[in-house]
Structure 1
Amino acid sequence: MTQHLIIQGEEVETPDLKALAKMTGAASIEQVAPQAFRLCCARRVEEVGPFCDAARLDWGYVPAGQRLAGFGLLAVDMDSTLIAIECIDELADIAGVKDEVAALTAAAMDGALDFAQSLRRRVALLAGLPATALEQVYGERLTLNPGAERLLREVKRAGLKTMLVSGGFTFFTERLKDRLGFDYAAANTLEIADGRLTGRVLGELVDAERKAAELRRIRDTLALSRAQVIAVGDGANDLKMLREAGVSIAYRAKPVVRQEATYVINYVGLDGILHLFE
């Protein structure tokens, strides 16, 4: 199968491109975006990864003819993937317990701590926090990761359905769903009583298993095959969801996720995903 090598970064130097083309025996170099290039008919060689890491370049071998329109669903994680923050850590900051909560979040994302156990412990630490803190985080602290809006716009233009699936909270996913036009969303619901968080989550937790199950449910509803799904995530609790997709993308992700994903994006924005498809 003919493969091309996609190279992209904040700054892609011409000498680096020439070196990679020589290294891989590429037939030609095509510019696909201001800082994204296709090395056509490139051989797979082990030296590409270390070279690109040293030059702070994202890279990926893509099958010739891999078109975005050939897929039917894009599933995206929320915290630290679609958006630049972990919402629960920001809520914890307002509650004065950020260090403890952030440590639990990091352990869960690295895969060192069971996600469901971690989430319950973290949410419990928020007990008594005024519910107005949710709006404060959304309005004052939540920012989209670079390229998020362009990614969603172009994916929808290509005819794909879009899904936001998160171990975070519905307060944020529902607002982002409306704002960005996601077709589907799934997340956890915080219990609120008398205007304050109770420290509990309502219903079944959206953990790693549930994320994967939600993706399968929507995939089946749309009568899609696994090969027609693209999934994007960053933490260990995304791994089972990513395995349900034909193309998985680790976006600025933990090492355990980078090891398994089809493609890894560390340096460019989310719209860099578009350059992996013709």
Structure 2
Amino acid sequence: MSFFGLSTWVLVAVLGGIVLGATVAGLLVGRSLSARSDRLREPVGVLQAALVGFMGLVLAFGLSLAVGRYESRRADVVAEANAIGTTYLRAQTLAEPVRSESLALLREYTRTSVAISGVVPGTPAHERTVAASAAYQDRLWALAGQALEAAPADSAPRLYVETLNEMFDAQADRVYGLTNRVPTAILVLEVAGAAVAMAVLALHLATLGQGVPTVLIASALVTVLLVVTFDLDRSTRGLIRVPPTPLVDVGTSMTGPPAATAPGPP
């Protein structure tokens, strides 16, 4: 089962249905066994304590993985924005006509980088956007080669080529980071562990004839925690997204006139 392929509200419904369904099942079984609660109280109590502890450990582990990947994706956006900004500044030191063509391409390249943040990885729209970005990269690299060929001894073209390569690498890191998600096996373990733990907890409380509202509230809280964990790993389609603000700001800074004028003839 691919949780990433589900829409946000379908994901909420699936997780809520699994956890709350297991809780209700535990309550029903517990009520049917309430007549033997004296004999079952101790073993079921030990079992539910162990399972609740296991559930807490698994949920914390899964949440830490999701948060780590989310923070890494935010850092990738900042790194790419910085690389684009540096490349744009260095492109201003190139000789014409490479200078003007490169600056125009860098503006389009930045718009494409922003668009990558709004498409879901693995979809046709994502593939088209990445392909368009790769086409801009090819054209920028070709122009950089022309700049080097025209002035092989100058430092400006060589510095530009260096940062251009870093810019390409930064986008590659970001694109691949979007597909670096928490393994499905861990997500399934989280859901299964939460469902079993809540079912046994509900069973234990039902055999005692108390705590029904409490276990339902606990199930809702566990569902919310699962949804947050899953949503952190869906940075382009969930409720918790990685904002492309640094890239948008860089693109905005390119709308004004270049800070440096074109170098004159030697």
- Relative to the length of structure 1, the TM-score reads 0.28
Between Structure 1 and Structure 2, the one with more helix by share is 2
Between Structure 1 and Structure 2, the one with more strand by share is 1
Larger CA Rg, structure 1 vs 2: 2
Structure with higher RCO (Cα < 8 A, 6+ apart): 2
